[in-house]
Structure 1
Amino acid sequence: MRSLAIVLALLLPLVASAQDTFTPQHVAKLRIVTEAVISPDGTQVAYVLAVPRDLAKEKDGGSWTELHVVDTKGTSTPFITGQVNVGSIGWTPDGKDITFLTKREKDTTRCLYLIGAKGGESRKIVEHGTDIQGYSFSGDGKQVAFLATEPIAAAKKKLNDQGFNQEVYEEDQPFVRVWLASLPRKRGEDDAKTSPANAGGSPRMLKLDGSASELHFNPKEDKIAVALAPNPLIDEHIMFRKVHIVDLATGKATNLNNPGKLGQLAWSPDGKKLAMITGADKHDPKEGRVWTYTIGNAKMDKTITDQGNVWPYIHNGHVESIGWLDSEELISQEAIGIRSVTFWTHFSGPKEKGRRVFNHTSPEDTLVLGHISVAQNGENMAFVGQAASHPPEVFIDAKLAEKTKGLHRLTNSNPWLKNMKFAKQEVIRYNAKDGLQLEGVLIRPLNEEKGKRYPLVLHVHGGPEAHYSNGWITRYADLGQIAAARGMASFYPNYRGSTGYGVEFSMKGQKEAGGKEFDDLIDGVDHLIKMGLVDTQKVGITGGSYGGYATAWGSTYYSHRFAAGVMFVGISDWVSCSGTTDIPQEMFLVHHRKWLWDDWDYFKKASPIAHLDKAKTPLLIMHGKNDPRVNPGQSLEMYRHLKVRNQAPVRLVLYPGEGHGNRRAASRFDYNIRSLQWMEHYLKGPGGKMPAMEIDYGLPAPATKTSNAGWDTRTPQTVTAEPWLGRGCPCCIGW
């Protein structure tokens, strides 16, 4: 009974009626803009809003994803809402319709739909025997190219139904193909309501070698740019995708042989240039350079974005999004450390050739932008933007916007945030022991008292080819403002190996797992201690994926520095991880730069389980049972060794059905509560014996979910949850 009372005492503030400070309940209801695409005429922005499930009323699952449209005045209209999953949104070339992928109740696969720009009934225009994964319209709107695997043969399906459903590991994954579908003549009002899907005939498959992704029609409509990997394996997708230009008349595919990892592609409006975000070479941990290809040339060119610095930004960061203002002007959104900067690049013509900062005149100093979408006029641009005060929302920089100039925010998906108390968030800069300049983001304790020292939660990002920005950093796996409301500081350092600081910086952790990269974390903690903010004896560490590895390292090798650890989908043994991960080439080429059999001692010494004799840190381990990236056996190994040695409290929580990061609302909610409970117990509470295992979530039994046929009239419908979430991030923990 006493342990139950302790648990209730810890959880009572989580479900209290006070609405002014952050709790896990607040994070669980945050709505996030995930996509934003501006209309061709620049007057509207279609966007996808991720809405978490309400566990008090709905069955558990991933977030619903709704379609909304906002005009330049900031008036937002819901188009498709409720229990739906809409994604991969776009506009038809004439701007009259919004396009999207979804799987409606009567669909057997994910199909391509459109809905009028003014609303009304949506219509399926392309369906296929397997899920459509992406698409691109020709400039005249007469054709659409799409990505999908080949339909399962009837004979194979029959065998599967008879129980012959064995999996031949890594050999029976279907290739993603490129298909071309002709669309019917320009439709009138009646056609829009009655034309069936595939009215232009059955789609035809292009004969291309490889598994396809990232598909873009050339504006001249005679070519398609497509990324092809040697096979469908995720490792090949991440490391070996090459951009090909396919001539639709001849079927010939020209390999542009991009040098490294691949990101976004974008055609210039005249169809003569193709810009792409790529890695500098095969050892570059993250795509972040912009290269261009000019039709007719023998090879690609580096652009000015990769050829020098722009004051006051004294180093190259990482390009995250690109768009064309016109056929000679490229706009790029770049991560420069913890900042977000928009650059303008001019290639030739009457204007001065060069690269410069694009001034948005934004009123928000901490604004972090991404997902550039440019209208046909080249003047109106939409972005997805976040700040310390709000998660991702729709922003626009438009000359057509009324009563405003420059960049401004169009949506407010979480109006209740204005009533919340925010702790101070700021940028901290410090030097590592070897003199390397580092920075991170600090959230101070709420109502901080001058001269008082506080507990600290050290948040370590994954990758390590990732970074923290000075934007919204309170999520289900990052305590941030929740910890601040409980009197704890949170620090988010960008240690060596992080992105946003150029290629050289991002490669500094290679060949040295668990070395200086994690020493940087300790140096950051020491800096905060010297500032007088942090209590040396009350520091916790947490992170997912590579951040989970850092947590395991901090709880063993550096155990004397940490009073608590929360390890999520992390690595404990590089020897066994090397043989169970689904990204062995990525691990070899951009991390270790050696194979296990080349240097057994290196992999052993870099493993947290090699330092178990030092382990004194109470460790909470959490992992998805279906994780293909970091096998859950990594967490089981760590747990079993610590449990047997009995040197410190340890608990293992496994999430059925979850992978490399939690997607379901209940899993995220449980994770957030448990991590907060663990940190508070060992950094502020009694410590010692672990907190109780059971948690009262304060939730009633969920209501029975129902379906409603009125899908386009803002009413619920049951659909497949989040099927298109990305494949490209090696360490995606998610919002």
Structure 2
Amino acid sequence: MKDGPLSYFTIEEMVALPGFSGVNLSADGSMVAYVERVADWDENRYVDRVWTYDVHSRARTVVTPDSTGSSQPQWSPDGTQLAYIRSVGSAQNQESQLFVMAPGQSQGIQITAIKGGITSYRWSPDGSGIYYLAARQNRALDERKNKYGDFEYVDVDDKRKTLYYVGIREALREAAARYEIPRDLRNTDDEKSQAASYAPKGAADGDTKSGNDADTKANDADTRARPVPCFDRSDLHVQDFDISPDGQRIVLCAAPSPNFEDFAESALYVLDMRDQGIAAGVTDISLPEMFTGRIEGQVHFAQQGRRFAFTYRVGDGKMFRNNAIAFCDLETGDVEALSTAINEDLSVVAWTESGLVVEWQDGTNRRIDRIDEDGNITPMVTGNGVMAFASSVSKRGNSAAYIKAAIGSPTDVYVDGQRITDLASTFAKRRVSRRQIVRWTSRDGSEIEGVLCLPDDFDASQRYPLLLVVHGGPTWASFPSPTQDKYYPIEQFINRGFIVLLPNYRGSSGYGAAFRSLNERNLGIGDYEDVVSGVEFLVQAGYADADKVGVMGWSQGGYISAFCTTFSRRFRAVSVGAGISNWVTYYVNTDIHPFTRHYLGDNPWNDMEVYRKTSPMTYIKQAATPTLIQHGDKDSRVPLPNAFELYQGLRDVGVKTQLVVFKGMQHGSDKPGWNRAIMHQNYAWFCHYILGDPLDSFWLE
């Protein structure tokens, strides 16, 4: 029984709610590592901290208490060492480097200092080293910059990532030496022997020894672990990789370059470590034509080592097609697609002794299942209203750690059903909106689902002002778990007297491939019908006041909101966050050009009509709704000209509008101060234009 009246979260409390990611379970299932993100208001930053949890003793330990950017913790195969990535360097030049915490240590030791930082990594199966992805080191580019200044030959300059290896014992020994020997006394000449000391067994560079040679590394250069490339292919950008259990093969998923345009040419390659070691070449894996141009990656070896699983896009390979799984036998060359009844994107977690562990979305639920090679499904974590993700499993596949939320329960970290973090207790001390799934029919007959947020004392005989919060993506969804939204103050809107609808419009994930393709060549128009029909559904049900309706969204949700403000006069107020206003402007400026072609069917020079039909700016002359526009000036995904185009167009036709440009912000906000401002601005905007509150608080003075 709860004592006393409970209050809703304030905006500041919502912004400061912790988030979890990076869950990793040790091979024997006895230890969990995860990342917790908390707000540091004084420094206006989010702090990502790595924690560990002992399943037997239930002890929690923070590994990186003061880190600004720790991520991707991974236990070594024997569970005795913990690696993670951590941001180092000045505030203006942060780079992600690899750290390892060995037995008996209270904190990790930095073992890489590679220019540009690393992006991902995997332990070698025997635990003796770590393979990681990082940019190819290009001294010529550095020399050019020093000579001529900083510039770029677009789509030409090499930014490809390649695969490196570092030996852990040698790297830790060298790291310890940095605290024992002054820099001026270190021997910096023997670079070749130092590089060889980090190579895996069987390296081709000669007589690498682990005895006296390794002992001399304490006198070598202060380079931490000098990057040792596993192969030299300047024409490949490695996206993902896995190592066979015996350590003799590495399978790579790679594209010609890191440009999104080239991802359609991603292919699979094998690096044979049995005879050549570090100097091995890369061999193309021949795949049937059905996989050409559709490889997604997510490569995972089977326990036996000769076969691996990978993911690919079915059909024509467009971004909204299903992500499916196939198997490849390296000995026979046979490739076989997995046949399963699941009609959704499949994300592979691991190939364990018990089968493939996968995550997928089922409506407003997210599941973790085990699938055998015949496509049979064994549920692991599932349930009505359950959202489970970011899972990690033991070697046998019988134990799992994951993040889970459910109706009435916020996201927390779990291991085998046991909650090991305690955000739930924070929510238990606050009044929280009640959420339920609703369904309605759009104009073309499509069934649309959404999440309706109601006050806990909701009165069905009363009509409430209605707000719609439209998710981004479009291949994402809204869920019925308690909100942790950092852009839109849903709980504060509920407290002020609104009800809030979160529509899963056509194109949303979780409803099958056919539903995701419904907005192909129909963006904006079909989405608008789904949103507006949701409004009419709630009006006809007697829940919503037809004269007091607003809509807001970020990214793709911002685009749909922009469409609502120019295409319709149905709404009293609109907020456009990082939204597209003109598909032509977007197409020529974005960093993901294929996205537009996949959804609209072609480029604008070949089919300008579809670009015109689906662009909010086409309908600017009929706009009448007061519109708030929020955008980051460093946004490369939806560049800032989209915001200025909508802003100036609305001004020219006499619509009340305000553009807020967040200096230094990219496509999403990563500072608590920005999130606080975004939420306060949205709260003031809708309360003013729908409820008649003063707009004074909007200006945040």
TM class, shorter-chain normalised?
0.7 to 0.9
2:505 corresponds to: 495
* C-alpha distance in 2 between matches for 1:51 and 1:662: 14
1:169 corresponds to: 154
2:11 corresponds to: 24
* C-alpha distance in 2 between matches for 1:550 and 1:354: 37
**Alpha carbons 1:320, 1:370 under 8 Å: kept:** no
| Identity among equivalent pairs (%) | 23
2:183 corresponds to: none
Counting only pairs closer than 5 Å after superposition, residues 295-444 of structure 1 correspond to structure 2 as: 295-305=330-340, 308=341, 316-326=343-353, 329-347=355-373, 353-358=374-379, 360=381, 365-397=384-416, 407-413=417-423, 415-444=425-454
* C-alpha distance in 1 between matches for 2:584 and 2:393: 47
- The equivalent position to 2:651 in structure 1, one of 637, 643, 646, is 643
* C-alpha distance in 2 between matches for 1:23 and 1:422: 11
SS in 1 for 2:376: strand
- Measured after TM superposition, the shift of residue 163 of structure 1 is 6.2
2:209 corresponds to: none
- Measured after TM superposition, the shift of residue 218 of structure 1 is 1.8
- Measured after TM superposition, the shift of residue 29 of structure 1 is 0.7
Pick closer, same or farther for the CA change 1:134–1:80 going to 2, 3 Å: same
* C-alpha distance in 2 between matches for 1:186 and 1:66: 23
1:5 corresponds to: none
* C-alpha distance in 2 between matches for 1:207 and 1:623: 41
1:270 corresponds to: 304
- Measured after TM superposition, the shift of residue 686 of structure 1 is 4.7
- Measured after TM superposition, the shift of residue 655 of structure 1 is 0.7
* C-alpha distance in 1 between matches for 2:652 and 2:611: 23
SS in 1 for 2:518: coil
* C-alpha distance in 2 between matches for 1:118 and 1:387: 38
Give the counterpart letter for 2:80 in structure 1.
K
- Measured after TM superposition, the shift of residue 394 of structure 1 is 1.3
Give the counterpart letter for 2:165 in structure 1.
L
- Measured after TM superposition, the shift of residue 145 of structure 1 is 1.7
**Alpha carbons 1:543, 1:551 under 8 Å: kept:** yes
Give the counterpart letter for 2:69 in structure 1.
N
* C-alpha distance in 2 between matches for 1:623 and 1:269: 47
- Measured after TM superposition, the shift of residue 258 of structure 1 is 6.1
Is residue 67 from structure 1 mapped to residue 50 from structure 2 by the alignment?
yes
Deviation by residue 1:304-354 (Cα, 9 ceiling, x = unmatched) = 33xx25xxxxxx23324432331x61222210111122332222xxxxx54
- Measured after TM superposition, the shift of residue 60 of structure 1 is 2.1
- Measured after TM superposition, the shift of residue 119 of structure 1 is 5.0
Q: Which has the higher contact order (CA 8 A, sep 6+)?
A: 1
CA RMSD of aligned residues (A): 2.8
1:695 corresponds to: 700
* C-alpha distance in 1 between matches for 2:336 and 2:14: 44
Structure 2 unaligned blocks of 5 or more? 181-216
- The equivalent position to 1:631 in structure 2, one of 639, 642, 647, is 639
2:134 corresponds to: 148
**Alpha carbons 1:261, 1:287 under 8 Å: kept:** no
- Measured after TM superposition, the shift of residue 158 of structure 1 is 5.3
**Alpha carbons 2:629, 2:643 under 8 Å: kept:** yes
Is residue 615 from structure 1 mapped to residue 623 from structure 2 by the alignment?
yes
Q: Quick check: 213-222 or 547-556, which moved more?
A: 213-222
Structure 1 unaligned blocks of 5 or more? 1-17, 310-315, 348-352, 398-406, 697-735
* C-alpha distance in 1 between matches for 2:656 and 2:347: 41
1:676 corresponds to: 683
Q: Quick check: 162-171 or 446-455, which moved more?
A: 162-171
Pick closer, same or farther for the CA change 1:191–1:686 going to 2, 3 Å: closer
1:663 corresponds to: 670
- Measured after TM superposition, the shift of residue 428 of structure 1 is 0.9
* C-alpha distance in 1 between matches for 2:16 and 2:323: 32
Give the counterpart letter for 2:629 in structure 1.
I
**Alpha carbons 2:462, 2:543 under 8 Å: kept:** yes
**Alpha carbons 1:445, 1:454 under 8 Å: kept:** no
2:267 corresponds to: 242
* C-alpha distance in 1 between matches for 2:574 and 2:158: 38
Deviation by residue 1:618-642 (Cα, 9 ceiling, x = unmatched) = 1000101011111111110111011
TM-score (norm 2): 0.85
1:706 corresponds to: none
**Alpha carbons 2:89, 2:95 under 8 Å: kept:** no
- Measured after TM superposition, the shift of residue 206 of structure 1 is 1.1
TM-score (norm 1): 0.81
* C-alpha distance in 2 between matches for 1:121 and 1:473: 34
Pick closer, same or farther for the CA change 1:491–1:321 going to 2, 3 Å: farther
Pick closer, same or farther for the CA change 1:409–1:227 going to 2, 3 Å: same
1:543 corresponds to: 553
Is residue 131 from structure 1 mapped to residue 117 from structure 2 by the alignment?
yes
* C-alpha distance in 2 between matches for 1:127 and 1:673: 41
- Measured after TM superposition, the shift of residue 184 of structure 1 is 3.5
- Measured after TM superposition, the shift of residue 420 of structure 1 is 0.6
- Measured after TM superposition, the shift of residue 581 of structure 1 is 1.6
Pick closer, same or farther for the CA change 1:299–1:635 going to 2, 3 Å: farther
- Measured after TM superposition, the shift of residue 564 of structure 1 is 0.8
Give the counterpart letter for 2:23 in structure 1.
A
SS in 2 for 1:291: strand
